[in-house]
Amino acid sequence: MVKKHRFKGIGNKKWWLIGGIGALVLIGGLGIWSAVASSNPSSGEEKTYDLSEVKNGTVASSTLLTGNIKAKQEQYVYYESSKGSNYSLSVNVGDQVTAGQQLVQYDQTTAQATYDEAVRKENAALRDLNYYKTYGRNASTTASQSISDTTTGEDATDTSQAATTPSVSSAQTEADYQKQLASYNDAYLSAQNEVAKAQEALNQTVIVSDVTGTVVEANANVDTSSQTSQTLVHIVSQGSLQVEGTLTEYDLANVKVGQAVTIKSKVYADQTWSGTIASISDYPKSDASSTTAGSNASGSTGSSYDYKVDITSDLGQLKQGFTVSVEVANTNTALLVPLSAITKEGDKSYVWVYDDTKGTVKKTEVGLGAADAENQEIATGLTLGQFVLAKADDSLTDGARVSVNADTKKAETSSSSSAAETTASSDSSSEGE
């Protein structure tokens, strides 16, 4: 009798479990394949690059300086011991003065006596000169005639010598007269010079104002034995202010006389004032004051140069003594490319230059200038009108053929053509006028 074996089948629950696992594996595999395919350009659509034309432009950058508000016109009068210890002030604090008005009077006793003596000597020299001009020639002629008569009487037999003696004596007499006359003239000129010096010294005892303004300091009692400078009078012009400060050697390339600036004060943070760079010193400061308030806000070291800014807007609440910031807008024009077009390798910078005739790109080293949030100045390596990849791609190789977005090139070319036409139109209008 043959035994029959009975096989137990797999239950329905187990089949469902196996089917679920298989489905998950299939879905995961499809996802991985899709990711790999999408990351491989050769397996899909060819990559297209946007182009950017190398253009002239200005980056949105500025140089920030600091300075102090000061009177545009002011005058300090210091005590001078060489003029004597006795002086008197002719003005008081708060007085309004005009240019040429007397401020300080030093004792004139010594200077006046010296001047009077010089005038007396000048008058005496003039009298001597005039007397000699009037009577000097006659005296010389009389003396010469006496000598001639004596010579003739001693040797009357020598007729040839007698004939020549008067002419020789006459020439000698004239020469002596002219020599003595020159001496009197020199003496008179010297006396005149002494009078001029004495007059200048006398004038220096009176100090006058060089500006029109208000007296803000008047010191009638200074220490005459002190070796330090002491202010007698300080005058400032009201309603005419300027900014004074220093800038560093690194700022000189970006700051020029005549550039517009924006002035701000922390005292009135919601207000701004306009101005222009009035002057920049050609000579660096050599003292430690160049590192105090009024230096470059960036803290750069190096040589410092004085600068001044004329305030062109209404002064409003701006006062002397305020410390202010001075923002100098960048006006330098340079070649520009998008910031995203730059790729770095170590300390070198490159862009991908597109060759339209070959459809290839070339990795080109460039020198960089200033930059803002969007554009980068190119100092070296590119020329106006070239095209570069708007976004650098490190996966490219030198000489690789690339597909470019024709729309970006067309837009760039159209923009350049419009600018050229506008310039040409303006030139034609100017010529017509």
Measured in residues, the chain has a length of: 433
pLDDT at 361: 95
Residue pair 263/326 in contact (Cβ under 8 Å)? The answer is yes
Q: In the numeric block, which tokens belong to residue 38? A: 């999408």
Q: How far apart are CA 26 and CA 230, in angstroms?
A: 96
Residue 7 has pLDDT above 80, yes or no: no
pLDDT at 382: 96
Q: How far apart are CA 363 and CA 352, in angstroms?
A: 5
Residue 164 has pLDDT above 60, yes or no: no
Residue 135 has pLDDT above 50, yes or no: yes
Q: How far apart are CA 185 and CA 183, in angstroms?
A: 5
Instruction: Using alpha carbons only, give the angle 261, 267, 269 rounded to the nearest 5 degrees.
Output: 60
pLDDT at 240: 83
Confidence of residue 421 (pLDDT cuts 50, 70, 90): very low
Q: Which residues of 111-146 are buried (b: 16+ CB within 10 A; e: fewer)?
A: beebbeebeebbeebeeebeebeeebeeebeeebee
Looking up tokens 């001693």 gives 154
pLDDT at 425: 45
Residues 6+ apart with CB under 8 A from 278: 242, 257, 308, 309, 310
Mean pLDDT of the chain: 81
Looking up tokens 């597109």 gives 354
pLDDT at 329: 84
3-class secondary-structure state, position 68: strand
- Amino acid identity of 216? V
Q: Is 84 left (phi over 0), alpha (psi -120 to 50) or beta?
A: left
pLDDT at 247: 93
| Cα–Cα distances in angstroms (integers) from residue 105 to residues 86, 213, 235, 245, 281, in the given order | 9, 19, 16, 34, 35
pLDDT at 209: 94
Residue 432 has pLDDT above 50, yes or no: no
pLDDT at 10: 52
Q: How far apart are CA 88 and CA 90, in angstroms?
A: 7
Q: How far apart are CA 352 and CA 361, in angstroms?
A: 6
pLDDT at 32: 58
Q: What is the mean pLDDT of residues 263-291?
A: 85
Q: How far apart are CA 418 and CA 329, in angstroms?
A: 27
Tens of pLDDT, residue by residue over 60-99, are 878 899 999 998 888 999 999 888 889 999 999 999 999 9
Residue 190 has pLDDT above 90, yes or no: yes
Which of 98-102, 212-216, 251-255, 411-415 has the weakest average pLDDT?
A: 411-415
Tens of pLDDT, residue by residue over 321-350, are 999 999 998 878 899 999 999 999 999 999
Confidence of residue 376 (pLDDT cuts 50, 70, 90): very high
pLDDT at 39: 47
The percent of residues in the chain predicted with pLDDT above 90, rounded, is 52
pLDDT at 30: 60
pLDDT at 36: 47
Q: What is the mean pLDDT of residues 3-14?
A: 53
Residue 29 has pLDDT above 70, yes or no: no
Strand partners of residue 276: 260, 310
Residue pair 122/184 in contact (Cβ under 8 Å)? The answer is no
Q: What is the mean pLDDT of residues 261-267?
A: 94
3-class secondary-structure state, position 254: coil
Residue 161 has pLDDT above 60, yes or no: no
pLDDT at 426: 42
Strands 48-49 and 403-404: parallel
pLDDT at 12: 58
Strand partners of residue 377: 336
pLDDT at 372: 84
Q: What is the mean pLDDT of residues 141-156?
A: 52
